Amino acid sequence: MDHGVEFVVIRHLPTAGNGKRQYVGWTDEPIIPSDAEPYDRTIRTVHGSDLLRARQTAALLFPNAAYVADRRFRECNFGQFEGKTYTQLERYSHYRNWVDDPSAISPPDGESLQQVETRVLKAFQELPAGAHVVTHGGPIRLLLARFAPEQREFWSWNVPHGSICRFHWESEEQWKEGQRCTSLSVEMRTENGNSSEKEC
């Protein structure tokens, strides 16, 4: 009997650059020291971005799991915008054009959201059924925009650091065909370790 398939996708814990509201894409900085409690000690394999902040988050939340790193789950490469903030960039026309249309326009020496979506979706659809994934805000928003039951725009999704998205399909076939999932729940983890879950 087919009981469906579920994927758990988690955003990494925050970094110093995140706290400063910088564009942190391929910059490989660590997470801020955290006393986050393990999420699941029974999971034996976790997939995700090869960047340090994702690997460190996985080690905290899934302490008994082996980590399978895949660079296709990286955040967007912000190119010359890396490490900068909105205030530092807002006067540049190329930056304003990119903010208006990030799918088609890329930062200098960086990626467009269309390029990110292509690699992230390919990596996601090659996962084993039921995988747990630790990645970044951009890739998660792309997955939500593509697969959530409710069709919404990329920027409309709120994905705080440490949030946990559960995508559920009624059958593995539906997932492999790229259909929208049948249910989605998002668990928000707070700094004090409490969590709340809601259906989306």
Question: What's the pTM value of the predicted model, to 2 decimals?
Answer: 0.91
Which pLDDT belongs to residue 192? 39
Range of the domain at 176: 5-199
Which pLDDT belongs to residue 197? 53
- Which stretches of the chain score pLDDT less than 50? 1, 191-194, 196, 200
Which pLDDT belongs to residue 128? 94
What's the CATH code of the domain at 145? Answer: 3.40.50.1240
Q: What letter would DSSP give residue 31? A: B
Number of compact structural domains in the chain: 1
How far from each other are the two terminal CA atoms of the chain, in whole angstroms?
26
Which pLDDT belongs to residue 163? 94
DSSP of 77-145:
--GGGTT--HHHHTT-HHHHHHHH-TTT---TTS--HHHHHHHHHHHHHTSPTT-EEEE-HHHHHHHHH
Q: What is the pLDDT of residues 2-37, one digit of tens each?
A: 579 999 999 999 999 999 999 999 999 999 998 888
